[in-house]
Structure 1
Amino acid sequence: MPQPFPTRQIGPFTVSAIGLGCMNLSHGYLPRPGTADAERLLLHALDSGITFFDTAALYGFGRNEELLGRTLMHRRGEFTLASKCVLAEIDGKRGLDGSPEAIARVLEDSLRRLRVDHIDLYYMHRLDPKVPVEESVGALVRAKEAGKIGAIGLSEMSAATIRRAHAVHPIAAVQTEYSPWTRNPEIAVLDSCAQLGIGFVAFSPLGRGLLAGNVSGAGIGEGDLRADIPRFQGDHLAANLALYEKMRALAAEAGCTPAQLCLAWLLSRGPHIVPIPGTTNIAHLDEDLAALSLDLSDDVLAAVDALFPAGAAAGARYSRMAQAQAGTETFPDEELV
């Protein structure tokens, strides 16, 4: 039976305090696992007590949803399922379409791939600047009224956009990159979520693997999305690996791993925050979940803050194209390209 992990509230859902980001089982990072290994990891996560699984139409252009559909849906009542629209495949390429028609079409495709008739939490993956957020949210409200989704979420959007969307219909969750080296949600989004009663889901909580010790000075190979991110290139990468070494030393002194320290730090930032690390490795997953049993002192958590003030990471957190699609606030001196 799953362990009685600590839980947190995301909108109407009570979920494990750490969820699973499923993207890199099918998309983005290399190497990708084989089918059997990916299925094994998903089932291990569920058996271990994770009750919050996050996917998207974009991931593998539907292959990630298909993976979850065939692997987990015979145990559908045991977990909260989240997926996303707006950012998806368009004519064989990554594309952005927040029109009500596109949202309805992508949702139907996701339901089919996931082998369900209802998705618990459905996010706008990004804001389409060509479509008022009110129109996109309206399409999701209609999907909710039809019983096809249970709650509405937003991903990588500003506090102002969140408030506009929330005025149309209560938003259950906001998802944004958040880790010690990516502090942008602290500018305005975290406070807005707390004020409005919105759950906050932290993706890439381990710095896209770098803060877990999974990136070397040799850099990232071609075909991995991180190869296009400035933080993983040249002098920026060297500077960020130097930061990681300081994090590793701090974790060793605290008696945990750097990944566990990252997750414990995130969980300490507010009761409405749920990190969703992703991994292709069962041992790494178990390591991440062990963060839930840590009891770290305020001094250790403060030391993480001191090590990673805003702007500590070298280089932009997105490629030029991806940054153009992210609405989250930036720091005044943040490098954007």
Structure 2
Amino acid sequence: LNNKVLNLKDKISGNEVDLSLCNLTEVPVRELALFPKATVVDLSCNNITSLPPEFCNLTHLVKVDLSKNQLTCLPDDLGNLANLQHLDLYNNKLTVLPVSFSQLRSLKWLDLKDNPLEPVLAKAAGDCLDEKQCKQCASKVTEKYRVINQPLERKKEAKQREREAREKEARKREKAEEKEKRRKEYNAQKAAIAAQEQQKKKSEEKKKKNGQAAAGKKVVVESAPKPRRSLIGLLFKLLLLLLLGLAGVVTACRLTDLQKEDVCVPINVAVDDSLFWAREQEGVVRQLVQNLSSAAKEFLESTQTSKN
């Protein structure tokens, strides 16, 4: 860019920036963006061949004069200049305008004279020889591009709706899959808990049965001998009492004056017979022991002789 233009403060007057006749080949977009209050820009009579895409970000512009330049095309997003009301493109090299031109809803004045426009566009633009014709040019050209843009807009809207429908279906499917996943996890958790409870119940029932069986066996083992022990004890007690009774009777009949009584006579006789039998048995036992001793001695002697 021309260094003289870099400092726009010298070119600003109120809300207007005069950059005409500056021999510019490019539009100083970055510098113009620093002055949003400068809504009117005069870029006429320069050597500008194209506008950069960033030019469409200067949405504060209301009036732009690009007449007598070398423009061959305009940026595709020119329709972003929503506040643009006045556009002078006189004496350039334009043949067509961008489709987004239909979005310039605020455009009220347009001059396209002395441009090699396509016949259909040239017819819509008209002569633009006065204020009225330039206003009609703005109206007819924007309307023409709205008509041209309608199928594109419908197609764009259809694609947008289709994309939204796909995204909605994808979200719905993801949501259903997530719900199904949570349901399966819940059922699995519930089944695991039920299995644990069933296992616990079986274990408790098994323990209970084992406990009952052990208790039954214990009862049988412990309680069965009790009548037997009780009976033996009872018999032992009866026998002891009987022996004590007999001993008492024998003692009474042997040691007291009752021994002369008729009742004690047979008892004393029986006692005497028993004592006699015991003495006889004592002799027999002594003889038996002597015989066993002799036999053992002979056996030992014969064993000793056989070894020698």
Scaled by the length of structure 2, the TM-score of the pair is 0.24
Looking at secondary structure, tell me which structure has more helix per residue: 2
Q: Which is bigger in relative contact order (C-alpha 8 A, separation at least 6)? A: 1
Looking at secondary structure, tell me which structure has more strand per residue: 1
Scaled by the length of structure 1, the TM-score of the pair is 0.22
Larger radius of gyration: 2
